[in-house]
Structures are given as structure tokens and as C-alpha cells.
Amino acid sequence: MSAIVGYSFYSTVYMGTEADETSFPALCARAEDVVGAMTRWAVTVNSIGQFPEPIQTLYRKAICAQADFFAVNGLDSVVLAAGTDNGFTVGKVSVHGRSGAAASAGGSMAGNVAPLAMMYLEQTGLLNPAVPVVEGRWWP
């Protein structure tokens, strides 16, 4: 399986330290899913080369930041807690549930997105909430 980010980029360009080479593929796969969903799948393994180099680097760094977030918070616990307002605890880290307003404001994974990943993505223009519409087509 081909990935947008390899361990080499993670360890030498992003300078990540939270994931080892063994755990990185699983963390990265889940991180790519989260970042991909946030950008409405605008970037894929096949299309990333069509973006300017700075955008490619920021997108890859966002995936790395999300992978680090999962490494620190525990991938299984974060994934299982998604969409719940009950919170969870992993080791010494405790994440408390959100209020009803906060829970509905950002979608089911809003509390499980790395702030650093958001920072990188905000600079790419890939978080545009506009939904493309097929030209000349009427929607009911």
C-alpha cells in the first residue's frame, strides 16, 4: 500500500519523535484518513504531486502532526472515543467530554484533531468549506 507520508519524511523532515518505525504505518494510515476527511479528499496519493511543493510539505506535516497526536493519546482510545461526549483517559492524559454545543460545532472528530495539524492545513487553502457543484445541473 502506498502512503502519502513515509517514515523517512516523518523522522527527517517533520522531525517526529512520538512514533517508532513499527507503529508509524498504523498511526499514519489513520492520520491520513482524518486529514483527508478534513480536506474533503482533495489530496490523494495519486494527486499530491499536482500541488506546489510548499502545499505538499504542509499537507504531509499535517499528517505527521495527526499521527503524533494519535501516538501520544493512544490510537485505539481516540478512535473509540470519537463521537462520544464521555471523554476518556489514557495513562496520565485525561480528555473530558464536550458540552452539547461544543460537540455539535465541529463534527464527530473535532476533539480528536491535532491543533498542529489544523495549523498546517490552514496555510494550504485545502480547508475551504465550499462544496463543488456540477455546472449546469439542477439539484432538488
Q: Which residues of 53-74 are buried (b: 16+ CB within 10 A; e: fewer)?
A: eebbbbbbbbbbbbbbbbbebb
**What's the rounded mean pLDDT across residues 21-34?**
95
pLDDT for 133 beyond 80: no
Instruction: Tell me the sheet residues that pair with 89.
Output: 94
Please name which of 61, 67, 48 lies closest in space to residue 113, comparing C-alpha atoms. 67
pLDDT value for 86: 57
C-beta separation of 138 from 76 below 8 A: no
How far apart are the C-alpha atoms of 84 and 100, rounded to whole Å?
11
pTM assigned to the model:
0.74
Q: What would the grid cell of residue 1 be?
A: 500500500
pLDDT value for 74: 85
Instruction: Tell me the sheet residues that pair with 93.
Output: 90
81 C-beta neighbours (distance < 10 Å), count? 21
Please give the single-letter amino acid code of residue 66. Answer: Q
Q: What would the grid cell of residue 137 be?
A: 445541473
pLDDT digit string, tens, across residues 61-101: 999 999 999 999 887 766 565 555 556 566 656 666 544 33
pLDDT for 21 beyond 50: yes
